[in-house]
Amino acid sequence: MAAIEVSRLTKRFGSLSAVTDLSFSVAPGGVTGFLGPNGAGKTTTLRLLLGLMAPTDGTATISGRSYAELTDPLREVGAVLESASFHPGRTARAHLRLQALAADVGRERVDAVLDLVGLADSGERRVGGFSLGMRQRLGLATALIGDPSILILDEPANGLDPEGVRWLRDLLRNIAAQGRTVFVSSHLLAEVAHSVDHVVIIDQGHLVADAPIDKLTAERGEIVRVRTPHPTNCGTPWWAKEPTPAWSTPTRSR
Amino acid sequence: MVDTDTIEVTVSTPEQVGVTAAKLGIPIFESRLETSSLEDVFFRLTSHPAEEGRTP
């Protein structure tokens, strides 16, 4: 069974269709990137998946059930949406203790996730003084508090410095290597190319790609770039002897 | 220093290009296979030609 299954999902706001007949699935044990331009419908899809709004049509399920039907949602799914907010006067540890209560997990889990996200030394600091990167880490700690098998993250690398981006990449890969599911939206395409195994791309609410990243980049075209002093042989492009070749206009370098 | 041109051959492999060049005695200083990047693929799939000429 797919960890996440979106089937013929449609969401309309009046005459505007934010998501249209969208279908894809996300398998466990990997990191799947969810990509699309601004306004493509990514956040709407994630909100539908997390039961934060109702679909006009179709279904979005987690482990075969809608979010509302999950018996222990905080232990089954950890999520961070882009708009994650925290009480500025509360310390990171106090915030996570509340989350641990809601998820019905032991307080020792608070220290474990603080350590996991690199905030072990900042647990007693008020969240209001946190940088954007630290807030992202705290959001991730919140998502991980219930030790869920599925992670849904909206732009988790925003605000992270290069070291933080690399740290996040390693963390998500380690989580996926444990057989868990990581579904992550991002605008950082170069980072996504390093971080994910599979991509789902949507545009204007429609699915435009759903494939392993290697396959997607390979099937969209390969070129052999050749540097030679003889781009032609007696006036004829010699590489034209290749079966069904195509080529660019030679560019001169010295 | 020798003047060189860089050519891009598609629908072929470095092996095919190399064998053809060798048969013809064409020197090759460099040959590498390049695949599309995720960024290339993304923009190809999500660009809208009708909007590209639009002014802000």
Cα separation, A101 vs A92, in Å, equals: 14
For chains A and B, what is the number of CB pairs under 8 angstroms?
159
Using the Cβ of A234 and the Cβ atoms of chain B, whether some distance falls under 8 Å is answered with: no
A residues 20..79 contacting B (CB < 8 A): 35-37, 40
Is the CB of A217 less than 8 angstroms away from the CB of B46?
Answer: no
Q: What is the DSSP letter of A232?
A: S
Domain boundaries, chain A: 4-223
ipTM value > 0.85:
no
Token code pair at residue B42: 């993304």
Using the Cβ of A165 and the Cβ atoms of chain B, whether some distance falls under 8 Å is answered with: no
Cα separation, A230 vs A88, in Å, equals: 67
A residues 91..130 contacting B (CB < 8 A): none
Is the CB of A190 less than 8 angstroms away from the CB of B17?
Answer: no
What does pTM read for this prediction? 0.80
User: pLDDT tier at A84 (50, 70, 90 boundaries)?
Assistant: low
Using the Cβ of B16 and the Cβ atoms of chain A, whether some distance falls under 8 Å is answered with: yes
Domain boundaries A4-223, corresponding CATH code = 3.40.50.300
Look up residue A165 and give its amino acid: V
Question: What pLDDT digit, counting tens, does each position of A194-231 carry?
Answer: 889 999 999 999 999 999 998 888 775 678 888 888 87
User: pLDDT tier at A248 (50, 70, 90 boundaries)?
Assistant: low
Say which residue, A191 or A56, is predicted with more confidence: A56
Domain boundaries, chain B: 1-56
pLDDT of A232 higher than 90: no
Cα separation, A1 vs B24, in Å, equals: 55
